[in-house]
Chain A
Amino acid sequence: MNWSSFKYLTRQGLHNLAANRLMTLAGVGVLTACLVITGVATLFTMNVDSLVAYLGSQNETIVYLDPAWDGTDEEIAQLNSDILAIPGVAGATYYSKRDVLEEYRGYMEEYADLWDEFEPDEENPFKANFSVVIRDLENLDGICAQLRALPHVVKVNAAEEMTYIFVSVQSVITIAGYVLVAVLAVVSIVVISNTIRLSVYARRREINIMKYVGATNGFIRWPFFVEGVGVGLLSAVLAGAIVLAAYAGLVQASGQLTGFWGTLLGASVLPVSRVWYIILPAFLLGGAVVGGLGSVTSIRKHLNV
């Protein structure tokens, strides 16, 4: 195909978009609906994932040190490095006996006299500890075992049960989300393919004539491909606008919540700025691929003349 033919056929495809208005509208309507449902499922999965990740990150693992051990600053720094060297550990903060005592003093100022009883350090009943943030929650067991094996560690407190519930919920929702998006993608391809097939069927005579005057299959396909991609891109823009506008409204509404839900959703709901650059390109790419492939596969049968 030379440049002149390419230009002509591309123009022809765009012209067909306008000329076959009803079919274009039907295609855009169907594909937009499919993309909106897919987008809603994707956003739901992304947000549940974010919520569970947030809840998981709130879990701290406390590594208690031997009260009899009076480590120097260098030894404590070494232990800190050893903890951070364990794969899956995101961070560690050291709290000395005194830090813990001061923390409690802050909580219960009215019992200041009682806390004074624990001065000096020899009387302090609290244990120095590391507060460890674990990134790889799925491997919490293994990480705890490695923490326990470190020198001067007497106990490791991790909310293992709760963490595993979060991890399980996250896995189930992520898998369910992927399955839902995959099923919806297949449904979209089938539905859009059938809609385009109707459009192609209505123009089978035209295709037949093109074959008789010596048009190659590629020459016949190109305008249909352009038309299909056009339908896909129009649908993507429309679906993107609908989904993102509705999502922005939901984000705004969740921002106005107070109390427990306000705290929870405020920290975990993804802002529009974190999702639009995933949703829009995915819609544009998905729409163009589904539209283009749908039209090219629908036309195949009519090319055997």
Chain B
Amino acid sequence: MIRFEHVSKVYPGDHLALEDVNIHIRKGEFAFVLGHSGAGKSTFLKMILREEKPTEGAVFVNGQDVARIRERDIPYLRRQMGVVFQDFRLIPSMTAYENVAFAMRVTNIPEKKICQRVPYVLDLVGLGDKADSLPEAMSGGEQQRVALARALVHSPQLIIADEPTGNIDPELSFEMMELLSAINSVGITVVVVTHEHELVHRFHQRVITIDHGHVISDVPGAQLHEEPTV
């Protein structure tokens, strides 16, 4: 699903963010990308989202060399994945329903299908009763679940979560990770980028550790998937 082949990234000012990174995350896999602040995690994410191009090497997402994708085709790459950000990135003027529906609207899905799918996904993340709430009226955990619903709503093959537990309390963090595990159990590839060692160790999934732009370890997961719920 995601393949980094000898990827290096140097930002202007000779700042080396990644150096000769080789990673292969297979379809249906759950992987943590672990690293402290400044390790190169954000650059790793930006490469997948095609926000940045590698200076050397190649990044493949779902078989596509992302550096070769034309500017105008980037939205179509991003529609193949769902992204959950640490700061939720919900549109403040839209309700929970509208925020989730927006991800479907950008792909020109008819309104009828949107009306059926959005309440279903909001129910799935436990926010069926919050559809009409604005983000400012919701807790951090609820906003994060709206963000997850938005990432899921168009049935992507890949979910990327960037520090998904960074702005919520530990109990809700565990809940969020459970939700991501459940999503993975139906065959959706999940990549969680985090700096929280403790959280990672509780889930026994594959852990790729990045430090100073290098992959310093890649430990395979041990836990089997549970029954599908998504």
Contacts and interface: CB of A to CB of B under 8 A. Distances in A.
Given A4-B108, A210-B102, A216 B75 contact: yes
A8 B78 contact: no
B89 A209 contact: yes
A217 B51 CA distance: 15
A214 B107 contact: yes
Contacts of A214: 75-79, 103, 106-107
Q: Which of B76, B92, B106, B111 has the most CB of A within 10 A?
A: B106
Q: DSSP class of A's interface residues: helix, strand, loop or mixed?
A: helix
A305 B89 contact: no
B12 interface: no
Contacts of A119: none
A114 B122 CA distance: 110
Contacts of A19: 93
B110 A4 contact: yes
B78 A4 contact: no
Interface residues of A, number: 20
Contacts of B85: 212
Given A1-B108, A2-B108, A219-B106, A206 B83 contact: no
A209 B72 CA distance: 17
Nearest to B102: A213
A235 B102 CA distance: 31
A215 B111 contact: no
Contacts of B108: 1-2, 4-5
B49 A212 contact: yes
B47 to A, nearest CB: 14
A215 B103 CA distance: 8
Contacts of B92: 206
A91 B92 CA distance: 72
Q: Which size bracket describes the interface of B in this complex?
A: 20 to 34
Interface in A1-42: 1-2, 4-5, 8, 19
Is chain B's binding surface mostly helix, strand, loop or mixed?
A: loop
**Central interface residue in A2, A213, A215, by most chain B CB within 10 Å:** A213
Contacts of B61: none
Interface in B107-156: 107-108, 110-111, 150
A29 to B, nearest CB: 23
Contacts of A2: 108, 110
B41 to A, nearest CB: 17
B111 A4 contact: yes
A23 B97 CA distance: 26
A9 to B, nearest CB: 8
A287 to B, nearest CB: 25
Given A19-B93, A305-B51, A212 B106 contact: no
A11 to B, nearest CB: 11
A2 B76 CA distance: 16
B90 A213 contact: no
Contacts of A216: 72, 75, 106
Interface of B: 49, 51, 72, 75-79, 83, 85, 89-93, 102-103, 105-108, 110-111, 150
Q: Would you list the 9 A-B pairs with minimal beta carbon distance, nearest first?
A: A214-B79, A214-B78, A215-B106, A213-B103, A214-B75, A216-B75, A209-B89, A2-B108, A5-B108
Given A210-B91, A213-B78, A213-B150, 19 more contacts: A2-B108, A4-B108, A5-B105, A19-B93, A206-B92, A209-B89, A209-B91, A210-B102, A210-B106, A211-B75, A211-B78, A213-B102, A213-B106, A214-B103, A214-B106, A214-B107, A215-B75, A216-B75, A216-B106
16 contacts: A1-B108, A8-B111, A206-B91, A206-B93, A209-B89, A211-B75, A212-B85, A213-B83, A213-B102, A213-B103, A213-B106, A214-B103, A214-B106, A216-B75, A217-B72, A219-B106
